[in-house]
Chain A
Amino acid sequence: MSKLESKIPEGTIETKWSKYKSSVPLVNPANKRNLEILIVGSGLAGASAAASLAELGYKVKVFCFQDSPRRAHSIAAQGGINAAKNYQNDGDSVHRLFYDTIKGGDYRAREGNVHRLAEVSTAIIDQCVAQGVPFAREYGGLLSNRSFGGTQVQRTFYAAGQTGQQLLLGAYSALERQVGMGTVEMYNRHEMLDVVTIDGKARGLIVKNLITGELERFFGHAVLLCTGGYGNVFYLSTNAMGSNVTAAWRAHKQGAVMGNPCFTQIHPTCIPVSGDHQSKLTLMSESLRNDGRIWVPKKEGDNRSPVDIPEDERDYYLERRYPAFGNLVPRDVASRAAKERCDAGFGVGPSKMAVYLDFKFNMMRYGKVEATKMGLQNASDDEILRLGKEVIKEKYGNLFDMYKQITGENPYEMPMRIYPAVHYTMGGLWVDYELMTTVPGMYCLGEANFSDHGANRLGASALMQGLADGYFVIPYTIGSYLSKEIATKAIDTSHPAFVEAEGRVQKVMDQLLNIKGTKTVESFHKRLGKIMWDKCGMARNEKGLKEAIVEIQALRKEFWSDLRVPGTQHEFNPELDRAFRVADFLELGELMCIDALNRSESCGGHFREESQTEEGEALRDDNNYAYVAAWEYKGESQWELFKEDLKFENIKIAQRSYK
């Protein structure tokens, strides 16, 4: 493979995208009708891309493993979506969003891509409102904003704690509109299991019909992978149960290189693990840090109820360590700080692996404002608190209900207990400026690609990126490739390349079913997750990573010799589907450890214990690691590293500080 061509356009940062758009080759409408695009995944990136490309006239097919495209896990995003609208007149701008994102990502993202993201962010909000997305509004009828971590402006648009749901339903409705018009064919309960390449170009997919178990072949002039992140490699994460890496991993094994696979986001505010039965973790939105203050007792092993611990015996450690950003430091910083306190013995709750997120202070603050508005002169503290609770309820009601359901505790009366959990993966398939992977004709959008968030994603930026890629980037960039494909006729799926690809999938399927061992898929997944969390999680070191690689290899061997998958292929068999996914996680996990081992600096969410400042902050090594690590698959346990050097021409690279 030749070196990685990022294809960042020439020109100043402000003009790159507009110049690109006005010079990219176009495909005329008559030709668009003959060009087929296969899209895998129906989340924000997939659904928005499918709708937008079908509107342009392309023939689109969309595949999702869920029973409806509306179930994609984008739906669970809670807090909001960033956009540089500057509606609050608080100094926001495209440049500032660009700057915050690069800095938040600890200077490990590409300037060109991130600036484009900031530029198109404003159009996303316009598009969503036009679709009928019910964003939160002020009494004057205009849109409301709130703050998220790593920024000092209010640029986050939201719909209570269900922003992802509302944005996805907007994209889903646009998608279904095209389905109704016959321009998109939707394949629910279909999972992509391999990619077909002919003469080096992506030309189709092998897809499993999850109801009948049949393998089906589809031809496309281009393939878009919009398949989300791979946080489930850790078993416990905030991802949906079905979220997986299989589509991306199969593409990787067919030549698409993986960028920065070890960059994982551990979200600071999740509901702590309650026991071995736990199947997933639930996020409590970062937006709660607008109004919740994080603390632990000052005294080690303090077992009093939180409401009995007086103010001066509480350590608001984020406010103490980071006075400028306080509780709104970026996620990686907040997560490490929580871990530090718990490891030092100050954790709370039954497991002692939790910290408090306390709303009382801001309930009182809001209550006083409400009392003043209502003209109550001498309201009692109880009355003020009651009014404040109402305000909090309106802002975060569904999150508080969810917390209560899961823990059995009432967060209106007691502080929440929270702990960091795996949430998002910044790493993913390497793509160029056009979102194309190293396999021509194969694109990767949204969380599945590596491109915009560097080593740490800022809150409310995932929704922004998914929709930016789908609505406003791919409709332009795909023309650059497809304009040269207009003479390519649809290739019959009896072509040997399709037969071969289907054969690869069938072989794996048969192997999985024929092991007939003693251990379940879940048991292997749990063990993999534990290795990953312990040794490639919030803190990593050389010794642990080397051990993890050996352990994963051994676990993989055991998987392939002692796995038990019930049933057959030709029926609805979720265990078989899971086995396929876990088999891929067992390979991905190893690469993540190799990548983490290679990057001996700390940056963003990647914290190498060997590389930290005296105060315990992540210490980058810009001389040696200001690059994207892109790994090419060379056979089992074999990868070749390619480096894309990151150049910072518009932002002065500096040690990140939120103090």
Chain B
Amino acid sequence: MEINLKVWKQKDAVSDGKLIDYKVSHVSPDMSFLEMFDVLNEELIVNDQEPIAFDHDCREGICGMCSMVIDGKPHGPLEGVTTCQLHMRSFKDGDTITVEPWRARAFPVIKDLVVDRTAFDRIIAAGGYISVNTGNAQDANCLPINKDDADDAFMSASCIGCGACVAACKNASAMLFVSAKVSQLAKLPQGQPERYTRVANMVAQMDKEGFGACTNTGACSAECPKEISLTNIAQLNRDYMQAKFLENA
């Protein structure tokens, strides 16, 4: 296959960027999307041109590092798939594909397709945990948890923190990401003691980072590679409201 690419090139956070055309020949349908970028970069280096910077690591869809907006969709056309798990068999010979970075004020571009997502770490640091020091735990089976609740908590916990939800949202809101962690811990008995301070603190940090507000359009969940459900946002809103009432009580 031969693929035409329009790729966002940007020197650093303060420079302007633009789309640059590339052509990649001899693309095998069994290649992953990122392997196609490897092939292109190898050619660019040999021809004394600058390779394209992009984030990637595990290449098995779990680390959350890869982050490309492909033809306007975070992680590309397939549902429930990260960029690294997208394969070229999903495209046709001669296709022109546009590739851009996550676009959000809270995710400044570092270079080309690489953005800074440390805002997510700071949101977790603001409350996305259970305060239990090492060595304090009771026997694990002293705490039976209804299987459905445990399964729900697991579904929320499967968020990989890639930021596709933010990239997909017209407001660049981080609500799906934040709500996934809030809901995971809200569904578990261990999460109850800090349930309301957690949601209040995480939302405050989210706002401080410059993420937009949520208007419930659902693009985040539709584009989420782990198909995190919108019900997490409903849970967050419920807990957040309760937290505010408690604060004012």
Which residues of chain A have a CB within 8 Å of any CB of chain B? 48, 51-52, 55, 66-71, 73, 75-76, 85, 87, 123, 125-132, 134-143, 159-160, 162, 164-166, 169, 172-174, 176-177, 179-180, 186, 188, 211, 238, 240-242, 274-275, 277-280, 282-283, 401-402, 405-406, 408, 471-472, 475, 518, 520, 522-523, 564, 566-567, 571-572, 574-575
Q: How far is the CA of A628 from the CA of B31 in the complex (A)?
A: 41
Main DSSP-derived SS at the B contact region: loop
Q: How far is the CB of A655 from chain B (nearest CB, A)?
A: 37
Which residues of chain B have a CB within 8 Å of any CB of chain A? 12, 28, 30-32, 34-35, 38-39, 42, 44-46, 48-51, 53, 55-65, 80-81, 85-87, 89, 110-111, 114, 116-118, 120-121, 124-141, 143-147, 150-151, 153-154, 157-158, 160-161, 184-185, 188, 190-191
Q: What are the residues of chain B within 8 A of A141 when measuring CB–CB?
A: 144-147, 150
Q: Assess the A406–B145 pair: CB atoms within 8 A.
A: no
Q: What are the residues of chain B within 8 A of A572 when measuring CB–CB?
A: 12, 53, 110-111, 114
Q: What are the residues of chain B within 8 A of A169 when measuring CB–CB?
A: 157
Q: Assess the A73–B57 pair: CB atoms within 8 A.
A: yes
Q: Assess the A87–B141 pair: CB atoms within 8 A.
A: yes
Partner of A126, one of B63, B118, B128, B137: B137
Q: What are the residues of chain A within 8 A of B48 when measuring CB–CB?
A: 566
Q: What are the residues of chain A within 8 A of B35 when measuring CB–CB?
A: 277-279
Q: Assess the A179–B121 pair: CB atoms within 8 A.
A: yes
Q: Assess the B38–A130 pair: CB atoms within 8 A.
A: no
Partner of B46, one of A159, A174, A274, A520: A520
Q: Assess the A52–B50 pair: CB atoms within 8 A.
A: no
Q: How far is the CA of A238 from the CA of B62 in the complex (A)?
A: 13
Q: Assess the B64–A70 pair: CB atoms within 8 A.
A: yes
Most B CB atoms within 10 A — which of A123, A241, A571, A575?
A241
Partner of B56, one of A134, A143, A241: A241
Q: How far is the CA of A240 from the CA of B118 in the complex (A)?
A: 20
Q: What are the residues of chain B within 8 A of A164 when measuring CB–CB?
A: 62
Question: Contacts A165-B62, A169-B157: A51 and B143 contacting too (C-beta < 8 A)?
Answer: no
Q: Assess the A131–B132 pair: CB atoms within 8 A.
A: yes
Q: Assess the A166–B134 pair: CB atoms within 8 A.
A: no
Q: Assess the B121–A131 pair: CB atoms within 8 A.
A: no
What are 6 A-B interface contacts by the 8 Å CB criterion?
A: A76-B63, A132-B153, A174-B134, A176-B124, A520-B45, A522-B38
Q: How far is the CB of A159 from chain B (nearest CB, A)?
A: 6
Q: What are the residues of chain A within 8 A of B116 when measuring CB–CB?
A: 67
Closest Cβ neighbor of B132 among chain A residues = A130
Partner of A176, one of B129, B138, B139: B129
Partner of B140, one of A85, A186, A575: A85
Q: How far is the CA of A401 from the CA of B62 in the complex (A)?
A: 13
Closest Cβ neighbor of A53 among chain B residues = B134
Q: How far is the CB of A275 from chain B (nearest CB, A)?
A: 6
Q: What are the residues of chain A within 8 A of B135 when measuring CB–CB?
A: 123, 127, 471-472
Q: Assess the B157–A240 pair: CB atoms within 8 A.
A: no
Q: How far is the CA of A67 from the CA of B151 in the complex (A)?
A: 29
Most B CB atoms within 10 A — which of A51, A143, A169, A275?
A169
Q: How far is the CA of A408 from the CA of B29 in the complex (A)?
A: 10
Partner of A522, one of B42, B117, B129: B42
Q: What are the residues of chain A within 8 A of B129 when measuring CB–CB?
A: 131-132, 173-174, 176-177
Q: How far is the CA of A174 from the CA of B58 in the complex (A)?
A: 22
Question: Contacts A68-B117, A572-B53, A575-B45: A76 and B145 contacting too (C-beta < 8 A)?
Answer: no
Q: What are the residues of chain B within 8 A of A564 when measuring CB–CB?
A: 45-46
Most A CB atoms within 10 A — which of B38, B39, B134?
B134
Partner of B57, one of A241, A283, A406: A241
Q: What are the residues of chain A within 8 A of B153 when measuring CB–CB?
A: 132, 134
Partner of A566, one of B51, B62, B114, B190: B51
Closest Cβ neighbor of A574 among chain B residues = B53
Q: Assess the A176–B125 pair: CB atoms within 8 A.
A: yes
Q: Assess the A137–B184 pair: CB atoms within 8 A.
A: no
What 11 additional pairs, Cβ within 8 angstroms, besides A73-B58, A132-B185, A177-B129? A71-B58, A166-B154, A166-B157, A173-B128, A188-B121, A275-B28, A275-B30, A277-B35, A471-B135, A520-B42, A566-B50
Q: Assess the B80–A567 pair: CB atoms within 8 A.
A: no
Q: Assess the B110–A211 pair: CB atoms within 8 A.
A: yes
Q: How far is the CA of A630 from the CA of B111 in the complex (A)?
A: 42
Q: Assess the B45–A566 pair: CB atoms within 8 A.
A: yes
Q: Assess the A472–B134 pair: CB atoms within 8 A.
A: yes
Complex A-B, nearest 6 residue pairs according to Cβ-Cβ distance, in ascending order = A141-B144, A180-B125, A173-B129, A130-B137, A126-B137, A134-B154
Q: What are the residues of chain B within 8 A of A472 when measuring CB–CB?
A: 134-135
Q: Assess the B63–A130 pair: CB atoms within 8 A.
A: no
Q: What are the residues of chain B within 8 A of A69 when measuring CB–CB?
A: 121
Q: Assess the A123–B154 pair: CB atoms within 8 A.
A: no
Q: What are the residues of chain B within 8 A of A188 when measuring CB–CB?
A: 118, 121
Closest Cβ neighbor of B125 among chain A residues = A180
Q: How far is the CA of A593 from the CA of B234 in the complex (A)?
A: 57
Closest Cβ neighbor of B39 among chain A residues = A277
Question: Contacts A68-B118, A277-B38, A575-B45: A75 and B63 contacting too (C-beta < 8 A)?
Answer: yes
Q: Assess the B125–A177 pair: CB atoms within 8 A.
A: yes
Q: Assess the B145–A130 pair: CB atoms within 8 A.
A: no
